[in-house]
Amino acid sequence: MKFNTELVSPQDRSKIKNHNSACVWFIGLSGSGKTTLASSVEYELKKMGIHTYLLDGDEIRRGLNKDLGFSREDREENIRRIAGVTKLFTNAGVVVFAAFISSFKRDREFARPLYDQNKFIEVYVDCSLKDCEERDVKGLYKKARAG
C-alpha cells in the first residue's frame, strides 16, 4: 500500500493548531544560557496555547546523535540531523526551539533553506567567555584550559 503524505499539509497542521510553526535556533558558547533562554520563551508561548518543543544539544547527543564525536565531520553531521528533525517538527505545526552551539555559520546556513521565509529564526545568545566559564557545569572550559 502506498501512502500519500500530501493529504495533510504543514499548512493544514498549522490551521488545526491555530498558530504558525517555526524553528527558533539558539546559538552561542557552551554555558551561555541557550537552553535556559529557549526554555523560558517556550514556557511563555505555552501559556498562550502555542504548541512547542525544545531540542537541546546535550539531549540530542545522548540519543539520536550518540554515535557522533566532535570532529569537524561529526559536528557537521550533528547539525544536519538536527536540521532534519527540526524540519519534521515544523511540518507537524510545532514551534521548535533548537539550542545548539552551532559554531560554524556554514552549518547553520545548511538548515536555513529548509524553511520558508520567516520560519527560521536565529538567535545568538551573547555571553562573555568569563561568564560561560563560571557557568561551566560540564567542565568543558576547565578541560580545554588543561589542554
CA pair distance 146, 74, nearest whole angstrom: 23
Domain definitions of the chain by residue range:
10-145
pLDDT value of residue 1: 56
Q: 10-145 architecture in CATH?
A: 3-Layer(aba) Sandwich (3.40)
Residues of the chain below pLDDT 70: 1-5, 103
Other CB atoms within 10 A of residue 3 CB: 6
Global pTM reads 0.84
Catalytic residue positions, numbered = 102
* SS percent in the chain: helix, strand, coil, step 5: 50, 15, 40
